[in-house]
Chain A
Amino acid sequence: MSHDLLTADAVNEGAVLNEREIMRRLVKRDLVITPLLDPKRQIGPTSLDIRLGFEFDVFNITKQTHLDPLKTRVELIRDVVAYTTKVHVGPMQRFVLHPGEFALAATLEYFILPADLAGRLEGRSTWGRLGIQVHSTAGFVDPGFEGILTFELQNMGKGPLILFPGVRIAQICFFHSSETAIPYTKKIGAKYHKKLSSAGSLFHEDPEFDAIRRYHARKSVAAPRKDTAAAGSDWLKRLVLFKMRRRPLDKLHAKPTAE
């Protein structure tokens, strides 16, 4: 390979960046990954190891039956708050992820990706062999993203895993693309920009739910929607009244007795 090709960024769009290309971006402050404490161990041939941060979101066992997207945003935010607990784990302190459990966690690193670089989050085999997954489905990082990333941790193994902030739990690789006109900062509806801690789902902010809510609001004007308990008691009352009303009707139509 010629020197020109080696010093230029990955020539083919979509090609994964190697260690020198990653480092060149970092030196030029084009790509920001901080803290970067141990490049010797962190930067591999085509990836960079990233660390577990201090914030975790664990899911509670609550009295809520479900998260209802049809509720108002304020109600939903309150429900989401009740659904998860934010756990802060200080340096050198432990967080235990039990088998089958799912938790959100923050990366220690804060990232700024340029408009021509996309990232892909992957697990490290060291931890994969113990049964840990660092993301369930959302491992792609858009060009222009700024903030910490959120891991979707799951322990698929048979034993509890003790995790500490700062451990290299995952890796990220970078792909070159031609410069996008809509980096994550400018993407309409970007919800997880410039976060400093793990961010729970903001699914209810998707405008599709506004349309669904409006539809149900229109329907509920014709037949007002009531909460389950109240609706239940109303239904019972109506049923009782109905039955009480029927009795005289029955009597009215009752066959005359022998008397």
Chain B
Amino acid sequence: MFTQVLERALRAERILDWAEVDAATSGARVVATLRVHVAALKAALFKQIPRIIASDGDDVAEGWRSFLGLCTAFNTFDELHLKLSYLGTRWTNSEIEMFIAAVFDEAAGRLGLQVNVSVVPSDTYTFEEINLTASATVQPLPEAVSNEAPTVFLPKSEFDNPLHWASLVHEFGHTLYGARALAADRGPAAEREESTTRRRWSEEVFCDILAAKLLGPAYLASFADFVIATSASDPIESFSETHPDARFRITALLESLRRDDIAARFGEGRELADFFYHLFEDRAAAERRYLRSDIPKLPRLDFNAKEFQHDVIEHIDEILPEQLRARSFTSEHFTRLSDRLKRGIPIGSYNAVDRDVAVPIFDRAESALSALLGQASEDDGGPASTESNATAVDEQLNEMRALVRETPCTVAEILNAGWMYKIESIYLPLIHDLGAFNAEMEATFRDELFRLDGVLRVSIETAYMAREFLAAFGAADAQVMA
């Protein structure tokens, strides 16, 4: 939870850095005031470090203090985020548009739906979907103009963080759900049989599982990362009429991933969903331990939770084409991509043939090509010519080209690799050396976070463009062949 709150503080601080460049003299005072707010937040956060270390040794009193201290630090961040409304804002950036186009447009298109959703930066630290309507129009709108604008709110501080854009997919799911209601699909009879809670919760669970099917464990990571850093007054096991508690949702996500056998594995046998599930359990355990009286009791459900989750998963399986779903991520594949992330190389595309496999094939093709060129040269009695055996030369060249051609990554691959890299190379090193935390470590943590953001954003756009281009190259090649 320490790293999550620190990350949020640094992201808010970065917005102030940008604002400072643009601010006129009078605005600069507002920025300076908010900087004091950030400094107080960080000071409160750093005060928890000795307590966190002590609580690792089962010191209950220190554990309680550090838990409440971290929750209070998050509250301070939450208040600060609201104050970001005093600063100028930016509209959607092109990378978010590409992210949505890559994940959602295709899904909506294949489901035969036309959904036009806007993404708007929000001053509250929440992800939300609202259908904006002009409720009190002075004069009625022309019939051709729709008075509906499905809008998704993305917290300002997460605007440049592609790993949290995964939550946008859940929010977009609401519009999809509205356009193709789960209950309607299964017929009115099924709807009548459902309990009210079951019917109301089904939309949230539908959106969660849809996002997990499209993005794999990266969605669970984004959801859990958001949930575990919250206020103490907002226990993660609380629920509402429309939203099941976080445990219910995370269990449904895990069930969906396990049924599809979708995993994202990285260093030392870790698995992305399991890693975040354990973080979630740690937070839940801390709440039960320190805030027992505040946690609302979950009412006895008048339906079977397992059956309910199963129904939603089955329904999405029926409507979501196989080719849109995220694939499993092997540790070898992660190693290949994480090496690139470590060096700051974008992962919009990658060479799918391993070096050790590629080199001998290349050498063979190159030898064969050299022999062909030598032969052509002798036959012609002049400089090397490829005319006499053009087809054979082309074959060898094509084999060599295939070994250097890169394959575009999917958005799911980019986000899963990003989360795994972030845990392995940014979160865990900080946690391991927390006792020695200092300004230099804070600077490294910040630089690494923002560097990763940049690499992932470029990767998302490159991957989108690469897929569009490859379709065109394929068509052009087919035309030449014909």
A238 sits at the interface (CB 8 A):
no
Do A7 and B406 touch across chains, with their CB atoms under 8 A apart? no
Given the known interface contacts A24-B362, A91-B461, A110-B346, the answer about A38 and B21 at a Cβ–Cβ threshold of 8 Å is: no
Given the known interface contacts A3-B367, A110-B345, A146-B343, the answer about A89 and B94 at a Cβ–Cβ threshold of 8 Å is: yes
Select which of A26, A108, A197 is within 8 A of B404 by beta carbon. A26
Cβ–Cβ < 8 Å partners of B404 in chain A: 23, 26-27, 36, 39, 43
A98 sits at the interface (CB 8 A):
no
What's the Cα separation between A33 and B377 when bound, in Å? 32
B355 to A: closest C-beta gap in Å:
5
B203 sits at the interface (CB 8 A):
no
What's the Cα separation between A7 and B230 when bound, in Å? 61
Cβ–Cβ < 8 Å partners of B458 in chain A: 54, 196
A254 sits at the interface (CB 8 A):
no
Cβ–Cβ < 8 Å partners of A166 in chain B: 465, 469
Cβ–Cβ < 8 Å partners of B49 in chain A: none
Cβ–Cβ < 8 Å partners of A23 in chain B: 362, 400-401, 403-404
Do B465 and A43 touch across chains, with their CB atoms under 8 A apart? no
13 contacts between A and B (CB under 8 A): A1-B374, A1-B377, A6-B366, A6-B370, A7-B363, A27-B355, A34-B346, A38-B405, A39-B405, A91-B98, A112-B345, A146-B344, A166-B465
B226 sits at the interface (CB 8 A):
no
What's the Cα separation between A146 and B345 when bound, in Å? 9
Given the known interface contacts A3-B367, A27-B359, A196-B344, the answer about A91 and B406 at a Cβ–Cβ threshold of 8 Å is: no
Which A-chain residue is minimally distant from B403 (CB atoms)?
A: A27
What's the Cα separation between A23 and B398 when bound, in Å? 11
B39 sits at the interface (CB 8 A):
no
A37 sits at the interface (CB 8 A):
yes
A9 to B: closest C-beta gap in Å:
12
Mark B residues whose CB is within 8 Å of A. Answer: 21, 93-95, 97-98, 340, 343-346, 348-351, 355, 358-359, 362-363, 366-367, 369-371, 373-374, 377, 384, 397-398, 400-401, 403-406, 408, 454-455, 458, 461-462, 464-466, 468-470, 473, 477
Which B-chain residue is minimally distant from A3 (CB atoms)?
A: B370
- Extra contacts, 14 of them, besides A3-B370, A23-B403 (Cβ < 8 A), are A2-B374, A6-B373, A7-B363, A26-B404, A28-B355, A35-B348, A35-B406, A91-B98, A92-B465, A108-B462, A165-B461, A165-B465, A196-B346, A196-B455
Docked complex: A105-122 residues within 8 A CB-CB of B? 108, 110, 112
Select which of B349, B370, B466 is within 8 A of A7 by beta carbon. B370
Which B-chain residue is minimally distant from A82 (CB atoms)?
A: B21
A194 sits at the interface (CB 8 A):
yes
What's the Cα separation between A207 and B348 when bound, in Å? 37
A78 sits at the interface (CB 8 A):
yes
Do B346 and A91 touch across chains, with their CB atoms under 8 A apart? no
Cβ–Cβ < 8 Å partners of A90 in chain B: 94-95, 97-98, 461
A93 sits at the interface (CB 8 A):
yes
Docked complex: A47-92 residues within 8 A CB-CB of B? 54, 78, 81, 88-92
Q: In the complex, which of the residues B94, B340, B371 has the most CB atoms of chain A within 10 Å of its own CB atom?
A: B94
What's the Cα separation between A112 and B367 when bound, in Å? 27
Which A-chain residue is minimally distant from B20 (CB atoms)?
A: A78
A32 sits at the interface (CB 8 A):
yes
A172 to B: closest C-beta gap in Å:
15
Do B366 and A36 touch across chains, with their CB atoms under 8 A apart? no
B162 to A: closest C-beta gap in Å:
14
A145 to B: closest C-beta gap in Å:
13
What's the Cα separation between A26 and B406 when bound, in Å? 11
Cβ–Cβ < 8 Å partners of A78 in chain B: 21
Cβ–Cβ < 8 Å partners of B373 in chain A: 1, 6
A50 to B: closest C-beta gap in Å:
13
Do B466 and A35 touch across chains, with their CB atoms under 8 A apart? yes
Docked complex: A1-42 residues within 8 A CB-CB of B? 1-3, 6-7, 19-20, 23-24, 26-29, 32, 34-41
A122 to B: closest C-beta gap in Å:
21
Cβ–Cβ < 8 Å partners of B95 in chain A: 90
What's the Cα separation between A147 and B458 when bound, in Å? 13
Do B366 and A20 touch across chains, with their CB atoms under 8 A apart? yes
